[in-house]
Amino acid sequence: MREWITPDVLALLRADPWFGSVPKDFEHDLLSLATPRRLKHGEHLFFRGDAPDGLYAILEGTLKVSGVTEAGKEAILSLVDAPSWFGEIALFDRLPRTHNAMAEGGVKLLHIPQKELLALLERAPHYWRELGVLMALRLRLTFISMEDLALLPAEARLARRLVWLVEASALTPNEGVCVVPISQTQLGLMLSLSRQTTNQVLQALQDQGVLRVAYGRIEVLDRVRLMEIAGVSTNEKRILSQLQGGGPKGRASDPA
């Protein structure tokens, strides 16, 4: 294992629900290939159409995963923070990256290069199953988000997205105020809502004492009430519980 992977870094990585449950031999072999990388604010990790270059984990900071049309209209798919792992889709199909990934503030990453990772999988093909589990979790969460966008009104969609951002985040404390580092504009872009609609819904939730809107962030004050408004089902609570079972907490993300 690389010397820069300190006990604190290892503990952070194991807080991710996927990585926290992989076999120790896979953990060791994966991290033995790891190299560190840093991004400045606004710097892209990759663009849509770039060749796949391996697997990543965020150690510090946030990545914005988005798509941009030729006319310049942006759709934000997700904001990915530590200790999320991503990049496995392009690892499986060897096709170009599906979206842009850009640093929101300074970002520190762990990178497993594609060539070395494929060589490892050639030697130990049973490791593919672990990567398949990571992609299956991503797919499950994507289906939930697609259903929300298709069926739910603005308030429920926004409340549910906040629930997933809070309850599946490794940065969420067990109790007290939960800070989601996302602006109103970013949240609206994630949900295909106008700025006006996003502001109205957030204001209504703030008036109910569920959250507080601040510059560049949303502070969730009442997680129980937020989940009630979001209409989180028993099955979805089970999924959230599983996400929280790999360590203190862990947010699932969906960049390719």
In a domain, 202, yes or no: yes
Give the three-state DSSP class for 109.
Answer: strand
In a domain, 2, yes or no: no
Over its length of 256 residues, how does the chain's per-residue pLDDT go in tens digits? 678 899 999 999 998 889 999 999 999 999 999 999 999 999 999 999 999 999 999 999 999 999 887 777 788 888 888 889 999 999 999 999 989 999 999 999 999 999 999 999 999 999 999 999 999 988 888 888 888 878 889 999 999 999 888 876 655 666 778 888 888 988 998 888 999 999 999 999 999 999 999 998 899 999 889 989 998 888 887 777 766 654 333 333 344 4
Same domain membership, residue 158 and residue 208: yes
Domain of 200?
153-246
Task: Say which amino acid occupies 9.
Answer: V
Token pair belonging to 255:
């960049």
In a domain, 251, yes or no: no
Domain boundary (114, 144, 174) is at 144
Q: What is the pLDDT of residue 17?
A: 83
Same domain membership, residue 139 and residue 163: no
Same domain membership, residue 166 and residue 138: no
Same domain membership, residue 116 and residue 164: no
CA 216 – CA 213 distance, rounded (Å): 8
Domain boundary (144, 168, 195) is at 144
Contacts (Cβ under 8 Å, ≥6 apart) of 80: 58, 62, 63, 64, 65, 86, 101, 251, 253, 255
- The percent helix, strand, coil of the chain (3-state, each to 5) is 45, 25, 30
**What is the b/e burial string over 221-247, where b = at least 16 CB atoms within 10 angstroms of the residue's CB?**
bbbebbbebbebeeebeebbebbbebb
Q: What is the pLDDT of residue 247?
A: 38
In a domain, 16, yes or no: yes
Same domain membership, residue 80 and residue 43: yes
CA 107 – CA 114 distance, rounded (Å): 20
Domain of residue 208, CATH code: 1.10.10.10
Helix axes 234-243, 128-151, angle to 10 degrees: 140
Give the three-state DSSP class for 43.
Answer: coil
Q: What is the pLDDT of residue 173?
A: 64
In a domain, 124, yes or no: yes
DSSP, res 126? G
Token pair belonging to 206:
């703030």
Under 8 Å between Cβ of 80 and 65: yes
Task: Say which amino acid occupies 150.
Answer: A
Q: What are phi and psi of 147, to 5 degrees?
A: -65, -40
Beta strands in 114-227 (DSSP E): 178-180, 211-214, 217-220
Same domain membership, residue 13 and residue 136: yes
In 3D, which of 124, 98, 101 has the Cα closest to residue 30?
Answer: 124
Residue 54 pairs with which residues in a beta bridge?
113
Same domain membership, residue 26 and residue 79: yes
Same domain membership, residue 159 and residue 237: yes
Same domain membership, residue 15 and residue 50: yes
Domain of residue 39, CATH code: 2.60.120.10
DSSP, res 59? E
In 3D, which of 22, 11, 20, 83 has the Cα closest to residue 246?
Answer: 20
Same domain membership, residue 163 and residue 119: no
Token pair belonging to 114:
């594609």
Domain count of the chain? 2
In a domain, 1, yes or no: no
Same domain membership, residue 200 and residue 242: yes
Cis upstream peptide for 83 (omega within 30°)? yes
Q: Measuring CA to CA, how many Å separate 109 from each of 56, 59, 238?
A: 7, 5, 30
Token pair belonging to 125:
């093909």
Same domain membership, residue 95 and residue 51: yes
Q: What is the pLDDT of residue 243?
A: 67
Q: What is the pLDDT of residue 168?
A: 67
Domain boundary (118, 144, 170) is at 144
In a domain, 254, yes or no: no
